[in-house]
């Protein structure tokens, strides 16, 4: 494009401005000659011709050639710079892609490692839970075994107690049957009850330890559960003296006095009616005021 412009500006070695100025002067001269040739004499006012100034630029073709060479060199340098930038961009893109791939591979490896670690932890947790379950199961079986053994032992104890009670009752019945005739002849049932009641009260008072807080007039009523052998199975305070020490002393005295052997000679019917559950009014008479 620059070469075409130079061809337009330079015509046969002259600049365009010179050519245009020469053409205008020739045109003006031809017009003046034509007007003089006319038969009618007229006064001609000469018009001051317009002076067209032109700048003659004489450029050396060698300089132009050097400029073109320099321009092409700069264009090549610019092209090389652009190519280097493009190459650098391609390298950066490739490096970024490689780095991205490495990051993805590292992330995938880390995810796989995390998954394996999670699986390992879950396996350890399952193993621990299984061990705990087995331990709890073993403890449960041991507790059930202990409870079963305890129930069996309690059942055996109750059976032995029942057998002992039955043997005692059997001996009492046999003793009653053996001495029924003589007792019926010597004493009445009332006498037997009074005698046994007085004997129980006497023995209990003999085994009573007076507490310091005991005072004259104190009284407590005890409900005593007994066996035909005279053994005491339970003592309950049905009416308190309002002195806990006095009540406990009376209860202790009953257990100390047992068994009441005299009850073994009572008829079983009399024992069941009056002494199997016996109410004792405990009121010692030797208390201080």
* 154 within domain boundaries: yes
Same domain flag for 75 and 182: yes
Tell which of 31, 59, 87 closes a domain: 59
pLDDT value at residue 108: 92
pLDDT value at residue 80: 93
Domain count, the chain: 3
pLDDT value at residue 10: 46
| CA separation, residue 128 to residues 125, 134, 249 (Å) | 5, 10, 59
* 288 within domain boundaries: no
The 10s digit of each residue's pLDDT in 33-45 is 777 665 444 444 5
pTM of this prediction exceeds 0.75? no
Same domain flag for 122 and 196: no
* 289 within domain boundaries: no
Residues in the chain, how many? 289
* 264 within domain boundaries: yes
* 129 within domain boundaries: yes
Same domain flag for 105 and 161: yes
Same domain flag for 180 and 260: no
| Residue among 59, 73, 51, 46 nearest 14 (CA) | 59
Contact 26, 49 (CB under 8 A): no
Parent domain of 209: 187-282
Tell which of 122, 151, 186 closes a domain: 186
Same domain flag for 7 and 42: yes
Same domain flag for 54 and 76: no
Kindly list the averaged pLDDT for each block of 10 residues, start to end, along the chain of length 289: 48 58 80 65 51 54 88 93 92 91 92 93 93 93 92 90 88 76 63 88 90 86 93 93 92 92 88 91 72
The 10s digit of each residue's pLDDT in 158-172 is 898 899 889 888 888
The 10s digit of each residue's pLDDT in 116-152 is 999 999 999 999 999 999 999 999 999 999 999 999 9
pLDDT value at residue 180: 64
Return the number of other C-beta atoms located less than 10 Å from residue 63's C-beta.
9
pLDDT value at residue 193: 87
* 287 within domain boundaries: no
Tell which of 145, 160, 186 closes a domain: 186
Q: What is the DSSP letter of 51?
A: P
Same domain flag for 147 and 53: no
Same domain flag for 50 and 68: no
Place of tokens 């990051």: 103
Average pLDDT, the chain: 82
pLDDT value at residue 19: 64
Same domain flag for 271 and 217: yes
pLDDT value at residue 36: 64
**What span, in angstroms and rounded, lies between the C-alpha atoms of 180 and 211?**
42
* 8 within domain boundaries: yes
Give the domain CATH number at 198. 3.30.1150.10
Same domain flag for 164 and 203: no
Same domain flag for 27 and 107: no
pLDDT value at residue 98: 92
Distance of CA 62 to the CA centre of its chain: 91
Same domain flag for 16 and 106: no
State the virtual CA torsion across 83, 89, 93, 98 in degrees, nearest 10.
80
């Amino acid at each position: 494009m620059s070469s075409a412009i130079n061809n337009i500006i330079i015509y046969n070695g002259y600049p365009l401005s010179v050519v245009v100025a020469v053409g205008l002067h020739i045109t003006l001269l031809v017009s003046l000659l034509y007007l003089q040739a006319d038969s009618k004499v007229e006064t001609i006012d000469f018009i001051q011709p317009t002076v067209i100034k032109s700048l003659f630029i004489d450029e050396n073709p060698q300089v132009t050639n050097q400029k073109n060479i320099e321009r092409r060199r700069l264009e090549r340098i610019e092209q090389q710079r652009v190519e280097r930038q493009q190459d650098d961009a391609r390298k950066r893109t490739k490096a970024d892609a490689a780095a991205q791939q490495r990051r993805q591979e590292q992330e995938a490896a880390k995810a796989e490692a995390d998954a394996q670690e999670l699986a390992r932890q879950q396996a350890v947790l399952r193993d621990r839970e299984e061990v705990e379950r087995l331990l709890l199961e073993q403890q449960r079986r041991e507790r059930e075994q202990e409870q079963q053994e305890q129930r069996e032992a309690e059942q055996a104890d109750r059976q032995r107690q029942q057998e002992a009670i039955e043997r005692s009752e059997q001996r009492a019945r046999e003793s009653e049957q053996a001495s029924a005739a003589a007792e019926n002849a010597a004493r009445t049932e009332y006498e037997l009850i009074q005698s046994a009641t007085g004997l129980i009260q006497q023995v209990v008072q003999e085994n009573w330890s007076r507490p310091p807080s005991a005072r004259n007039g104190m009284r407590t009523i005890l409900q005593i559960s007994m066996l035909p052998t005279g053994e005491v199975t339970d003592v309950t305070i049905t009416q308190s003296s309002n002195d806990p020490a006095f009540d406990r002393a009376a209860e202790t005295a009953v257990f100390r006095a047992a068994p009441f052997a005299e009850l073994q000679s009572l008829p079983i019917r009399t024992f069941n009616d009056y002494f199997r559950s016996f109410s004792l009014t405990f009121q010692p008479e030797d208390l201080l005021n």
